[in-house]
Amino acid sequence: MGNKVYTEDSIQSLTPLEFTRLRPGVYCGSTEYSTQLLIEIVSNAIDEFKAGHGDTIKVDINKDNVIIVEDNGQGFIPNAMREDGKTILEASFGVLNTSGKYDDDGVYEGTALGLNGIGSKLATYLSHWLEVITHRGGKYEHIWFKEGEFVKRECGDWNNKDNPSGTLVQWQPSEEFFTHTEVNLNTIKQLFKVLVCLCPGLKILLNGEEYYSANGLTDLVNDAVKNTEIIDNRLVIKKDEGKNKLDFELTYTDSYSSTIVPYVNTGLTDSGPHITLIKTILTRELNKFFREKKWLKEKEENLSGDDCQEGLYLVFNLTTPGVSYDAQTKSRIVKLDMSPFTPWITESIRQWLELNEKSIKIIADKALNARRAREAARKARETVRNQNEKKQKALKFDSKLADCYSKKRNQCEIYITEGDSASGNLKDARNNEFQAVLPVRGKILNTQKASLDKIQKNAEIMTMIQAFGLTIDPKNMKITYHPEDLRYGKIIIMSDADVDGAHIKNLFYTFIWNFCPELIKDGYVYAGVPPLYKITIGKKYKYLKNDEALETFRKENPDKKYTVNRMKG
């Protein structure tokens, strides 16, 4: 490659409109769908509700991907001119970093989600066209943009007494910037379901479908945990002091994972000091209480955060000024002062523990079981690591495997049979180019409650894992597969058609379903259905699947002479 040098023409300065349209992902995050534009406009309407203005947000999404958002908030001041000759409304939708939400002492108290003066401009810059109508005090202003550029303005009197103030924004996202210009409806529906719980009393209409919550976070938690809750009394915190507010609800379920849904100023986040601190406080206070009650012995180590959080379901909305994010999408928080919230959370957890000892004992037992499982998983991982880490190209199978020789492994199939005698006929009858036979001894281990380290000690199961081309993953303690590593495109379990045969099949299914269910979901696992009986009538014969089929045959042929042979399988 030749060396390239830049000239005076290589350095460019772009306007905010040009830059946003050139690099939409900088502000918009994902550009697969235009969903973020709707979120930005709705966030502004939410800020109006939080500031005490308006109680309804209407969202309509038309077939041609035109999106309309209307609120009954306070509205912009119509036709209010700035020194640069633009109105407040035009600047709010057309001039980057223009906002009425920068000042912590302003009407929004610095706790608005729309705090950068960017969101509404995204909808303007990344759409074919956008128009806004705002009204208040008997006046209105109507403005139009095309491809991000201001086109015209219209002002006049507003005489609708039933709708005295508010703002309507409508736009058509451009395919130039989005893979799909439509909104991801599933994402928006889930968002609206949550937003009305974070803002009790707010009504959101999406194409006429109403979202409303009378009970706030309780409705959200009820919908999430349904009948899986294992404690009687949730931890509920509702605190409000100055600009700092906390709405917090915590419970435990029978799940083996934890779920934390952390909102800040009604915006969903995925990391930051708020999440870290709450986890730390909860883990510390639970360990302290467990020791006081002697559920955790003196010589035992403290339970880890993961142990204490197994089954946790927590949702909270924290309202505070001075929040700093790492991007316009506002999912990761880099600065947030938690000092006002720490004593609220700590004291509330302590009171909850003291008043609900019976429920807390259930949590303690679950956490202790989690630790035991974690220790067992650690030992199993060590077992895996101690095995030969390099995947052997020449696999050393159980010598009883009668393999096939085709190199087109996705067209090969393996038959799992019960014992050596049952496999004999199959080995004779098979096409050994693409059909393999593996006998296993009787009934394999029941894996319904078996841990991975236990099944690793079972010869039959480990032989099948190796023969199928599966992998034991020491990180998540699951058995996984990669299609290119599978040695057979079909795994077929063969057993007799009697009760014992059905039991053997069920044990095999249980093993696959508990440890590698994707094999079943992706269509690799089959069941062979051998007949249990052979009916001979003169020189003719037919096969019957099971006892029920034989009984039906006898009822339908009461006068015929025939012989019944019970098949081996």
Domain assignments of the chain as residue spans, ordered by start: 16-212, 217-324+331-375, 409-527, 533-566
pTM (predicted TM-score): 0.60
Q: What are phi and psi of 191, to 5 degrees?
A: -60, -45
Handedness of CA 364, 368, 371, 373 (dihedral sign): negative
Query: Residue 497 — very low, low, confident or very high, per pLDDT cuts 50/70/90?
Result: low
Report residue 473 as tokens: 């993953």
Q: How far apart are CA 308 and CA 311, in angstroms?
A: 9
| DSSP state at residue 36 | H
Q: What angle do CA 322, 327, 333 make, to 5 degrees?
A: 45
pLDDT of 391 over the 60 cut: no
Helix locations, 440-532, DSSP H: 452-455, 459-468, 499-515, 518-521
Domain range 409-527, its CATH number among 3.40.50.670, 3.40.50.800, 3.40.220.10, 3.40.50.300: 3.40.50.670
Q: Model confidence over 130-143: pLDDT tens digits?
A: 999 999 999 999 99
pLDDT of 503 over the 60 cut: yes
pLDDT of 116 over the 60 cut: no
Q: How far apart are CA 528 and CA 505, in angstroms?
A: 10
Contact 87, 132 (CB under 8 A): no
Asked whether this chain's domains 16-212 and 217-324+331-375 adopt the same fold, the reply is no
Contact 108, 49 (CB under 8 A): no
Q: How far apart are CA 371 and CA 369, in angstroms?
A: 5
- Rounded mean pLDDT of the chain? 83
pLDDT of 423 over the 70 cut: no
CA distances from 332 to 267, 322, 328, 336, 339 (A): 10, 14, 10, 11, 19
Q: What are phi and psi of 464, to 5 degrees?
A: -65, -45
Residue position matching structure tokens 């918009």: 28
Provide the 3-class DSSP secondary structure of residue 266. Answer: coil
Q: How far apart are CA 36 and CA 27, in angstroms?
A: 9
290 or 462, which is more confident: 290
Amino acid at the residue 192: F
Report residue 282 as tokens: 């909860």
Q: What's the pLDDT at 7?
A: 64
How far does Cα 536 stand from its chain's mean position? 58
| DSSP state at residue 400 | T
Query: What is the chain's alpha carbon radius of gyration, rounded to the nearest angstrom?
Result: 33
Q: What angle do CA 457, 461, 466 make, to 5 degrees?
A: 100
Domain range 217-324+331-375, its CATH number among 3.30.230.10, 1.10.260.40, 3.40.50.360, 3.30.1600.10: 3.30.230.10
Nearest Cα to Cα of residue 377 among 452, 460, 285: 452
Please give the full DSSP string across 408-422, using - where no structure is assigned. -GGG-EEEEEEHHHH
Q: How far apart are CA 410 and CA 430, in angstroms?
A: 17
Evaluate whether the domain defined by 16-212 bears CATH number 3.30.2130.10.
Answer: no
pLDDT of 111 over the 50 cut: no
Report residue 315 as tokens: 């949702």
Amino acid at the residue 492: I
pLDDT of 115 over the 50 cut: no
User: Count H helices, E strands: the chain?
Assistant: 17, 24
Contact 163, 71 (CB under 8 A): no
Q: Model confidence over 51-108: pLDDT tens digits?
A: 889 899 999 999 889 999 999 999 999 999 988 888 999 988 988 765 543 344 433 3
Using CB atoms within 10 Å of the CB of residue 375, give its burial: 0 to 12 exposed, 13 to 18 middle, 19+ buried: exposed
Lowest mean pLDDT among 153-157, 239-243, 356-360: 239-243
Amino acid at the residue 110: G
